[in-house]
Structure 1
């Protein structure tokens, strides 16, 4: 079954990467890669450095997954995850990256689907997001 937003299962999946730090956004993009797995469509990245850009992207673009930096400033990814869960009408898988393991409970409270730690481990991040992306291919 094909998604209404995606004309075919080969259309790219769109991953929003939010961080106020350009290096963090680059590390996340490099960790995931353009083809994170042979069983899913390639991915395109939507970079967001501010809270406002994230909200605009969520309102106007078809985004399949959001990766949010919990350490972003002035608006952290945990608070942004909570806002997206509370305000979006459609379901969007959300990954939050935290600097401290003790913050995982807070990201879970914000209803993030997955919580990973800084620094981003490419194997861990890909392993965490692949089931979420496969779910979007079936949606």
Structure 2
């Protein structure tokens, strides 16, 4: 059974997990989205993670509204991690994957990613992919 973690307030920041073994990649994602990417959603609070264990721990807490995973992270890539989370976690939260090449989108789709963008991170492309996912997490 899939459960969706509930938000307690539409004013509370949306928590966005950014996973990459590369600190520069995490910074690029944060800069591309910014704290206020859209006036129709709450501000973003970024949670940086660099390890598989940290991602699983944060995702199991149910406090994450969106996960953005680096498909090229090492030693555990974001595509495999997305597949594991979609298969094993009971609560639903959207996952976006950044792939090394646009041709890798099929693999991210196989992992059931909700959005896929390719590297290098383009702010317009990333926002276009993740804003609908963030809007779906807001209280109505």
TM-score (norm. length: structure 1):
0.94
C-alpha deviations, 1:54-112, integer Å up to 9, x for none? Answer: 01111225000000000000000000000000011011100000011221100000000
Q: Name the counterpart of 1:47.
A: 48
Q: Name the counterpart of 2:13.
A: 12
Q: Name the counterpart of 2:94.
A: 93
Once the two structures are TM-superposed, the CA of residue 4 in structure 1 deviates from its matched residue by 6.8
Q: Name the counterpart of 1:68.
A: 69
Q: Distance in 1 between matches of 2:111 and 2:10?
A: 30
Q: Distance in 1 between matches of 2:9 and 2:90?
A: 23
Instruction: Give unmatched runs, 5+ long, in structure 1.
Output: none
Q: How many residues align?
A: 137
Matches within 5 A, 1:1-139: 5-138=6-139
Q: Distance in 1 between matches of 2:91 and 2:7?
A: 15
TM-score (norm. length: structure 2):
0.93
Q: Distance in 1 between matches of 2:122 and 2:5?
A: 33
C-alpha deviations, 1:10-62, integer Å up to 9, x for none? Answer: 10000000000000000000101100100100010010001010011112250
RMSD: 1.4
Q: Distance in 1 between matches of 2:40 and 2:17?
A: 20
Instruction: Give unmatched runs, 5+ long, in structure 2.
Output: none
Q: Distance in 1 between matches of 2:29 and 2:114?
A: 17
